[in-house]
Chains A and B, each alone.
Chain A
Amino acid sequence: MIRHTATVDGNEAVASVAHRTNEVIAIYPITPSSPMGELADAWSAEGRRNIWDSVPEIVEMQSEGGAAGAVHGALQGGALTTTFTASQGLLLMIPNLYKIAGELMPCCMHVAARSIATHALSIFGDHSDAMAVRQTGMALLASNSVQEAQDFACIGQAATLRALVPILHFFDGFRTSHEIATIDLLDDDDLRFMLDEELVAAHRRRALTPERPVIRGTSQNPDVFFQAREVANPYYERFPRILQETMDRFAGRTGRAYRLFDYAGHPEAERVVVLMGSGAETVEETVRWLVERGERVGVLKVRLYRPFAVDAFLAALPRTTRMIAALDRTKEPGAVGDPLYLDVVAALREGWRQVHGTDEPQVAGGRYGLASKEFTPAMVRSVFDDLATPAPRRRFTVGIVDDVTHLSLPWDPAFSIESDDTVRAVFWGLGSDGTVGANKNTIKIIGEDAGLQAQGYFVYDSKKAGAVTVSHLRFGPRPIRAPYLIGQASFVACHQFDFLERFDVLEAAAPGATLLLNAPCPPDEVWGRLPREVQETILEKRLTLYAIDAFAVATEAGLGGRINTIMQTCFFAISGVLPVDDAITRIKEAIRHSYGRSGPVVVERNFAAVDRALDSLHRIAVPGGVTSTRGRPPVVPREAPDFVQRVTSVILEGKGDLLPVSAFPVDGTWPVGTSRWEKRNLASHIPVWDPAICIQCNWCSLVCPHAAIRAKVYDSAQLAGAPAGFRSTTWRGPDLKGQAYTIQVAPEDCTGCNLCVTVCPAKDKSNPRHKAIDMTPQRPIRERERTSYRFFLELPEADRSEIRRLNAKGSQLLQPLFEYSGACAGCGETPYLKLLTQLFGDRLVIANATGCSSIYGGNLPTTPYTVNAAGRGPAWANSLFEDNAEFGLGIRLAIDAQSREARRLVGDLAGVIGADLATDILGADQRDEAQLAAQRTRVAELKRRLAPLGAGPASRLRDVADLLVRRSVWLVGGDGWAYDIGYGGLDHVLAQDRDVNILVLDTEVYSNTGGQQSKATPLGAAAKYAIAGKATPKKDLGMEAMSYGQAYVARVALGADMNQVVKAFVEAESFPGPSLIIAYSPCIAHGYDLRYGVQQQDLAVKSGVWPLYRFDPRRIREHQPPLQLDSAEPSLPVHAYQRNETRFRMAEKLDPVRFRRLAERAEQDAARRYAVYRYLAGMMVPTEDREPDQPQAAQVPAAQEV
């Protein structure tokens, strides 16, 4: 039989089998499982069929809970059904997993196992999620590699149909789900061979049908529930046998044999490691290496974890086993041991003596690899070494340095078992330069065309703009079983020269390795430009050095900054993995495949770049000694705080793995204001201000996504110490008139997105090409602007009380307390958040739903929320994706409870603290900044008077006195949260009368997970799960919120009406009940240059797609219609807006006729919606003569401060 191989990642390998062996797939995006759903959807969209020749139904649900419900229903309906998920998603499925298992519904679902959010969220892989469902009745099947993930998807589907016990097949998130490897593919005949048609028919016969009606899901009482729960026991008892038979049948077909517990190693091993997941591959390879060197060690790979087959487990272990280390990739705090350890101990206790007739082996419980922490052969060896000691540790961790509870085992980082016949290459690149994409093609070229085994794994930093990527590629003649990063690379490429100053790029270079640099200079200048440390390492490790000015080649070829195919060509030329001509032919095929959809021009330009690459590649002569005197600059400046120096800078340098346990806060609490210490210098060009032309509108500052261009008004006397080149003029605004005014760029924080320049309305009358802000090359002015910016930051902030006109202009004189985030260049969300912090930052509490805003808002190493000179600033927390409205409400409830208590105590202690002060505090109006400042002064005085009073009520009041100043609670998240997964909670909070403000950053897709459609996606837009263009209209969330009549609701778009945005924020905040602001947020998932994000928003409003309005229930009492329509009747066709965005263009290209129909409906929808709003905007609401009831929150004394 001819076997076909391919290089695919784990997600694709699994999804391919799942799509071909199911009829219904219900999904919801969650990292790292999202690609499985996306692929399945894409395949169905293009009509790809399963092995029964039908196209599987794919449905995206509103949450994983919804997906599980749909799976359950589809199974009851008799369809072969599956789902894909991970982490929190799996937790949301738990109730249905109990149901599916309890009803013996055959199903094989697939989990890219990932950690669960605890002290922090992590998207990376471990078994926390799979272990959290081990009690549900689902069988748990673990695969350890890309090949196994594919095979087990098939074996699981076949076994569940026979056994009726549903299966949860899991594999390591990222390490397996995202690793690209060469595997033997299962073809349709293999799948048909494995799936018994009679069993499929039997499943169908169990479907709910009125032809043979039955009832399922009864309610049972104490008399029978227990027995009925036990009656299914035989199914679990025979499951292991059925699974093994299925594995055997699979082996007979494919030659790949699996067992419930696979042992590998010395037949008379004394020390055995038991584990599951990709780490087992590492252990097996290390065991092989150790056995070859005479050690009696082995590994037991757990395939079937539930039901735990004790007999098979015991039989699989060598009789000679004396010491076992059970390794868990999860943590169960407070348990006797982690789950696998406990199962191993119990299983040994239950049957070892009966099976082997000897004393039970000793068992140690070890924990490793949480959140994709590296697990290397060196760590495996340290485990075996510890087992060989006279007193092995009973509990240990490996892979970290635990200097708190001292559980960790030491390991030798230099230890390596990798063979010399494997090429190991590490590539450093920027996300935007395409390095990873080209490397994925390289793997395919080598793995599929050259007949070698290939492996690729990619590491990304957490930034969305200017992300650093590191690609780890292995190639060799034998299967590669090394699921860990490359430590000894034979080839290192650095595609961005600046990285040499920021990172230890050569750390992974093996002695004698080759180094390829993309150097922006002639060959003879390359050596001289290298930092001293790099020169030292090149000499010390005897590296061979090559260089190319890839940007010059790319520019000549008309490719801008896309250097990936050029560097790829150089890799093949130098590495010799393939003959160069062959490689170039295959690179061009890959280019045609990858860029064909972008069009022939793109393909041809890449061809030209490839053809030019080799002529520009040079071997650089390495002199005998170091010539550079310039060392790498410190990662963070010396003035950075201690924590930043000790912890943050280490993570920034890419060496976070080295930090010991004691470096970390115990409860996930981190300091704010750290993004200021990370200077990434991303922009090649930055804005420079010309005060002579500026009209002082401050729009540049308002739209800047990164707070990298700022406005400040200050006393001109402050200019006395201004550095040379610092620019200033006289402020002409009504507030603070006559003071000095400066617009200043943060040169090293700007991402070069151009938004500020695009929006700037001020042009030089003689030369309109010159605006008040022009983009200028950063390098030549970096130092000057850095000095100016430092001086600018030291200038005192304007007195907030003096800025009375809170509009687009005035708001920008307030200090932003959200700065330099890792959001995309041109991000449409972050300007709203920055504005939020400017308006209310010093009394702001944010509950942030998981999503883009929680990643750029709270992903280490540095975070953007910061403090003012008084040390006050936004307090921020992320709970989950689905619960943010409830989470934020809880914060409000706590504030209300404590502020009520504070007011009560102030009243009770009036005699002690002074009646006047008490009266003033309790009666204080806190509507504007002056009033808030006055209240802060009173609270300070209160604390001063309370200080000597000792314990009791006075002490309690001291603890809560700060809550006498009004706090602003904001619930922030994207449309995935607000429209879909969190909608139930959001709706519930809107139905309450608590003073919370909800800000929905509406990008109209799940941006963070890669652009899947949400219910906010507009009609006709292509998104994942709506590839041909969404066929249903966007949900009118605002209208739904308005239906309560008691919530403030606004729909805003910064690019269309800046003043309306500020007005809405201020009104929402002042409204003493729930408020909802839906903010149009341009996103890279819309597919256009975000420098035009402002114009696109304007077009969205003018075409009626995004009408602007404010609904304020307070207006009812003023006998005004509560709804104010802030945008004019649509004056442009919807097409004028849609034609600029790839998301619409793609749908149009795919099916012009269908798109035209959708576009016409969008046009009608826009007109209809506007007509409805206009009608409502003219509608008076009857009021009663008496004052309406105050919302409950307003009855709380603290809330009356409004």
Chain B
Amino acid sequence: MNLATEYLGFALPHPFMVGASPMVDDLSMVRRLEDAGAAAIVMRSLYEEQLTGEQMATMHFLESPANSFAEAATYLPQPRDFALGPDEYLNQLRKVREAVSIPVIGSLNGVTPGGWLSCARLIEEAGAHAVELNLYGLPTDPAEDAWTIERQGVELVREVVEKVRIPVAVKLSPFYSAFANFARQLDAAGARGLVLFNRFFQADIDPENLDVQHQLHLSESSELTLRLRWLAIVSGRVRASLAVTGGVHDSLDAVKAVMAGAHAVQMVSALLRHGPERLRVVREGFARWLEEHEYESVAQMRGNMSLLRCPDPRTFERLHYIQTLQSWQDFL
């Protein structure tokens, strides 16, 4: 069975890779992931906002009390080696790069155009094989229109693509008014891969304390359907390779994702829940399924259920919606 695939220009032995997660913080875990057969690994996201916040806060806490009092010019040590910034992230990236022989993809969540660019360069310099731009911001300002947001995103990607030599993937949220068009714009801007879709901390309400809480739940297979639909819609319409992330928990999930058009399958929640060896289990199950169904290769299967190739695209586009509604009526 030929499971080989290509993602961001990398020839991978199979589509299964590790999505952005804290698992990369632990090098022994990273090695276990490689041992489990991960085809590539995505670093956890470097958050520009967090970097900025920490730097400004540290300046405040180190500098504000300094030189204020005769008995103490400072209140914390001032080691020469201590410098805030993305160093920890980049060092870990280097270590992961050294620890494994599979492609390592840096992940970046920026806020400012300059921040995106400088961090992407640093990630490249640290040895990442590729960089995944996590394009997500909450457009809470009612004065900001969809066109502006999309244009900024495309410009950003174009700028990063021009300034770094490594492939650039763009991880997207589903909340774009014209997603297919936006995906094509990103494709035109030079994105070598599109990753569908990111998951973020969600705000929850604490009714007792009248407070807002942030939480992140691990994904479930039920979240896959949203991704399947948009993979299917985009597949074959962009040059960029496609990755699915969020909702792949077993081999059948993976089969569906590839059928919808995914070149790569990113897994996180299943690995966090069951351990890195889960990746091997899913991969082997995936291969078995293909064999049982007499597929010769992944390439043969990829995109066979996309909008361009599925038996009845109109059914795929519309009836799917109606059927779902009808299925709900069964419970009424």
* Chain A interface residues (CB < 8 Å from chain B): 31-32, 34-35, 38, 42, 45-46, 123-124, 174, 430-432, 434-437, 440, 458, 460, 462, 464, 467, 469, 558, 560, 562, 595-602, 605, 761, 763, 765, 768, 824, 855, 1007-1011, 1022-1024, 1027-1028, 1083-1085, 1087-1089, 1142-1143, 1145-1146, 1149-1150, 1152
Contact = CB atoms under 8 A, between A and B. Distances in A.
A1024 B77 contact: yes
A824 B65 contact: yes
A1008 B55 contact: no
A597 B75 contact: no
Nearest to B91: A1152
Contact of A434 (B54, B58, B67, B211): B67
A869 B58 CA distance: 45
A1084 B65 contact: yes
Contacts of B80: 42, 46, 597
Contacts of A35: 73
Nearest to B87: A1149
19 contacts: A31-B72, A174-B70, A430-B68, A431-B64, A431-B67, A431-B68, A434-B67, A436-B67, A597-B83, A599-B55, A602-B55, A763-B210, A1008-B72, A1024-B76, A1087-B76, A1089-B57, A1143-B76, A1145-B54, A1149-B82
Interface string B31-70: 0000000000000000000011011111111111111111
A432 B64 CA distance: 4
B78 interface: yes
A560 B61 CA distance: 13
A855 B71 CA distance: 10
Given A123-B71, A1022-B77, A1150 B66 contact: no
3 shortest A-B CB distances, which residue pairs?
Answer: A431-B68, A1010-B72, A599-B55
Given A46-B80, A1007-B75, A1143-B76, A598 B68 contact: no
A278 B117 CA distance: 54
Interface residues of B, number: 41
A562 to B, nearest CB: 7
B88 interface: yes
A599 B77 contact: no
B65 A560 contact: no
B55 A1011 contact: no
Contacts of B76: 1011, 1022-1024, 1085, 1087, 1142-1143, 1146
Contacts of B77: 38, 42, 1011, 1022-1024, 1027, 1146
A1087 B65 CA distance: 10
Given A458-B67, A1009-B71, 6 more contacts: A31-B72, A123-B71, A431-B64, A467-B68, A1024-B76, A1146-B79
Given A1022-B77, A1142-B76, A1146-B82, A599 B71 contact: no
Contacts of A1009: 71-72
A1098 to B, nearest CB: 14
A269 B69 CA distance: 43
Nearest to B27: A1153
A158 B201 CA distance: 65
A1149 B76 CA distance: 14
Contact of B81 (A558, A1089, A1150): A1150
B101 interface: no
Contact of B51 (A436, A596, A599, A765): A599
A46 B79 contact: yes
B74 interface: yes
A558 B68 contact: no
A1084 B77 CA distance: 13
Given A469-B67, A1023-B77, A1084-B75, A596 B83 contact: yes
A118 B61 CA distance: 35
Contacts of B88: 1149, 1152
Given A434-B67, A1088-B61, A1010 B73 contact: yes
Given A431-B67, A464-B69, A601-B51, A1027 B61 contact: no
A1010 B76 CA distance: 7
Overall SS of chain A's interface = mixed
Contact of B59 (A464, A602, A763, A765): A602
A726 to B, nearest CB: 28
Contacts of A1027: 77, 79
A517 B241 CA distance: 60
Contact of B61 (A434, A768, A855, A1087): A1087
Contacts of A38: 77
A437 B63 contact: yes
A974 B88 CA distance: 35
Interface of B: 51-52, 54-85, 87-88, 91, 118, 209-211
Nearest to B55: A599
Contacts of A440: 67
A460 B84 contact: no
A32 B66 CA distance: 16
Nearest to B84: A599
Nearest to A824: B65
A1145 B62 CA distance: 12
Contacts of B61: 1084, 1087-1089, 1142
Nearest to B212: A768
B70 A598 contact: no
A431 B73 contact: no
A35 B78 CA distance: 12
Contacts of B82: 597, 1146, 1149-1150
Contacts of A31: 70-72
Contacts of B211: 768
**Interface centre among A560, A1028, A1146, by most B CB within 10 Å?**
A1146
Contacts of B51: 599, 601
Contact of A558 (B56, B87, B209): B56
A1096 to B, nearest CB: 13
Nearest to A372: B70
A431 B64 CA distance: 7
A167 B210 CA distance: 67
Nearest to A1021: B76
B50 to A, nearest CB: 11
Contacts of A42: 77-80
Contact of A45 (B56, B79, B209): B79
B58 A432 contact: no
Contacts of B85: 599-600
Contact of A599 (B66, B74, B81, B83): B83
Given A35-B73, A437-B67, A460-B68, A598 B55 contact: yes
Contacts of B79: 42, 45-46, 597, 1022, 1027-1028, 1146, 1150
Nearest to B211: A768
A368 B72 CA distance: 26
Contacts of A45: 79
A910 B173 CA distance: 90
Contacts of A1142: 58, 61-62, 76
A857 to B, nearest CB: 15
A768 B67 contact: no
Nearest to A596: B83
A835 B120 CA distance: 53
Contacts of A1083: 75
A1201 B225 CA distance: 77
Contacts of B70: 31-32, 123-124, 174, 460, 462
A460 B69 contact: yes
A598 B58 CA distance: 6
**Interface centre among B67, B78, B211, by most A CB within 10 Å?**
B67
A433 to B, nearest CB: 9
Nearest to A46: B80
**Interface centre among A595, A1085, A1142, by most B CB within 10 Å?**
A1142
Nearest to A30: B71
A250 B230 CA distance: 82
A765 B210 contact: yes
A1143 B74 CA distance: 13
B56 to A, nearest CB: 6
Nearest to B74: A1010
